[in-house]
Structure 1
Amino acid sequence: MTQIFGAGSTTEEVLSGVSLKGKRMLVTGVSAGLGVETARALAAHGAHVVGAARNLEKAEHATTQVRADAARGGGRFELVALDLADLGSVRTCADKLNAAGLPFDLVIANAGVMATPFGHTKDGFETQFGTNHLGHFVLVNRIAGLMRPGARLVNVSSAGHRFADVDLKDPNFEQTPYDPFIAYGRSKTANILFAVAFDARHRARGVRAAAVHPGGILTELTRYMPAGGIEAMVARINEQAAAAGQPPFQFKTIPQGAATAVWAGAVAEAGVVGGHYCEDCHVSPVVPDDQAVSLVSAGVRAYAVDPAHAEALWAKSEDMVGEKFS
């Protein structure tokens, strides 16, 4: 009988009884929060986890428990340098992984930023779109040959994708007034569309891709929020929830937040999650673009899973980074 998990499930609950020995996995953003817990849970169940982080010194300190749990569970953990806001760093990381030639069974594109002040990556892209989407787009495509049949890609997105669809005509806010949450929404929509397009390209060889919403969790992701910003946002969400007859919003713990990515990557059937957006350890329904929803409602906007839209973003992304990927 298949175990049913939900919003309150933790990484340990979804991996209960699961052995990941012999599996090799890559997790980006392992210097804090969800990335650390994701790496810990996978390594604790026997996986060889490669953790990628911009600040390796910070990551070394943050992953002490990861190494301890890996040792107890028969897994392994190692770090590799990766700055998603610098495509030179991304390509160097990919080159290092390709030179090692060791295959991956799972890639979790977890790292990201949220609601940053207006700025640009080293390559001139708007910070959130460049970091959250384009950095992972180049990394994953460059190491796609290491993903063996049966492997999966899990892109960590967000219900924040409902803030905005991608803008393929003005991705860098050159004509559009900048709004930090619109920019965040665009990048999180891009994470989903990338998973849709990657899944379409690789499913014939047994490699699948999904996007996940971890839920609302208090992590370093909120560091750019102004004082009182989180409280104000929760108040707005609860107003929407009350109007829709839904219960008040509740933050998840970090182990609960990391559970959906772990579930989609290592527990759920590939054919169930492939090409889809998941939340609370299940595949989410598609919500029409014109249907009113709150951030506590379940579901993914139709524009974020539209295959033609995903292909258009893929082509635009290739143009922006100056590389073509089959």
Structure 2
Amino acid sequence: MTSATQAIGAQSTTDDVLDGVDLSGRRILVTGVSAGLGVETARVLAARGAHVVGAARDLDKARKATEIVRSGAANGGRLDLVELDLASLASVRACADALVARGETFDLVIANAGVMATPFGKTSDGFETQFGTNHLGHFVLVNRIAGLMGPGARLVNLSSAGHRFSDVDLEDPNFDRTPYAEFVAYGRSKTANIHFAVEFDRRHRHRGVRATAVHPGGIQTELGRHMTQETMDALVANMRNAGGEAFSWKTIPQGAATSVWAGVVAPADEVGGRYCEDCHVAGIVEGEGLRGGVRPYALDPDRARALWALSEAMVGETFPEA
């Protein structure tokens, strides 16, 4: 715990959050290290001495993007890259199997990678693109490597205020019968990220492994590449009109701050099974709009258990309680 803990908040950066923290000897997996939040997350962790394993679909792109990570590594920090395409369960399983074969443990897993507001499509396994990539890919990866996470380890799932767009549809997760809307699909996947953290935390906390979900904030990264300017303007207007608070974009170092706060700095019992934003645990908030708080349905333990069972059925793999 650092002295900065009491002062951090919405405007804090990753360096603010980890000021004075030594991560030498820690081994941390971060998905999505080819751009944006993933690169910044890997950078600050390696700069504090962590051995970061960065996962990315395009390794050439990731190598170029993570030069800053390697050049800034200190106190024994380092970065290794592994190939991971979350839209292909064959790739997910190959990545997980390779990590398990190495047998090296993880102190922290940050499920950072994702897609947003994509046109309707399917993953290679036939899942709706956003649900399949953002949730099911990470669901299989994390569960397959859960044995590498020992007492004191944490899982941080990147969710979003976008979870407020929609709860998960347990009856029609792939939009087989529901008209497709890109932000409804995004909302379902981001709610699923929270559900996954809630149930993973319940299943593993008895052995000292905790899980949480975080909202990084409004950040302009490659995540928005599928949105038109009109869509982006409408989204920003929604955020500006909600809650009566001024809206401003976060920088990438500010956006990645909540991930490292929840994974490294915050007390485990405070964040376990919860949803965090602005380097704090978020309160439960009803109502419309995207600003502030978590919808109660996202933390519903019964919904989380039901999604777990559905996810196992969809991927054809069972993950018993530890």
TM-score by length of 1: 0.96
CA deviation vs aligned residue, 1:8-42 (integer Å, no higher than 9, x gap)? 00000000000000100000000000000000011
Matched residue, 1:213: 215
Deviation (angstroms), 1:295: 1.2
AA in 2 matched with 1:278: C
Q: Does 1:69 align with 2:64?
A: no
SS of residue in 2 equivalent to 1:34: helix
Once residues 91 and 233 of structure 1 are traced to their aligned partners in structure 2, the CA distance between those partners, rounded to angstroms, is 35
Percent of residue pairs bearing the same amino acid type: 70
Deviation track 1:277-315 (CA, whole Å, cap 9, x = no partner) reads 00000001112xxx324212x211111001111000000
The match for 1:56 is 59
Q: Secondary structure at the match of 2:190?
A: helix
Give 1:311's aligned residue.
Answer: 305
**Does residue 294 of structure 1 match 2:296?**
no
In 2, the alpha carbon distance for the partners of 1:292 and 1:168 equals 22
Amino acid in structure 1 at the alignment position of 2:173: P
- Provide the secondary structure at the position in 2 that maps to 1:40: helix
SS at match of 1:286: coil
> Which structure 2 residues correspond to residues 241-320 of structure 1 after superposition, within 5 A?
241=242, 244=243, 246-287=244-285, 291-296=286-291, 298-320=292-314
Determine if contact 2:42/2:69 at 8 Å carries over to the other structure: yes
* RMSD (CA atoms): 1.0
Q: Deviations over 1:242-290 (max 9, x none)?
A: xx4x232100000000000000001111111001000000001112xxx
Q: Is the 8 A contact 2:238 2:289 kept in 1?
A: no
> 1:11 maps to what in 2?
14
Q: Residue 225 of structure 2: SS of its match in structure 1? A: helix
Please point out which of 80, 83, 87 is paired with 1:81: 83
C-alpha distance in 2, partners of 1:256/1:75? 22
Is 1:38 the equivalent of 2:41? yes
**Aligned-partner SS, 1:218:** coil
Large movers: runs of 4+ above 6 Å: none
Q: Is the 8 A contact 2:238 2:290 kept in 1?
A: no
Q: 2:175 is matched with which residue?
A: 173
CA distance in 2, matches of 1:196, 1:63: 31
Counterpart Cα distance in 2 of 1:293 and 1:5: 27
Distance 1:4 1:208 in 2: 24
Q: Tell me which amino acid in the other structure corresponds to 1:7.
A: A
Question: Which letter maps to 1:87?
Answer: L
What CA distance in whole angstroms lies between the structure 2 residues aligned with 1:284 and 1:222? 24
Where structure 2 has 5 or more consecutive residues not aligned to the other structure, the ranges are none
Cα shift at 1:97: 0.1
TM-score norm. by structure 2 comes to 0.97
Distance 1:140 1:198 in 2: 9
Q: How big is the shift at 1:237?
A: 2.6
Distance 1:237 1:299 in 2: 13
Q: Following TM superposition, by how much is the alpha carbon of 1:74 offset from its aligned partner in structure 2, in angstroms? A: 2.5
SS at match of 2:169: coil
Partner secondary structure for residue 229 of structure 2: coil
The counterpart of 1:28, out of the listed 22, 27, 31, is 31
Between the aligned partners of 2:229 and 2:162, the Cα distance in structure 1 is 20
Give the C-alpha shift of residue 157 in structure 1.
0.2
1:97 is matched with which residue: 96, 99, 108? Answer: 99
* Offset of residue 227 of structure 1: 3.0
Q: How many residues align structurally?
A: 317
1:325 equivalent to 2:319? Answer yes
Counterpart of 2:272, as a letter, is G
Question: How far apart are 1:234 and its partner, in Å?
Answer: 1.2
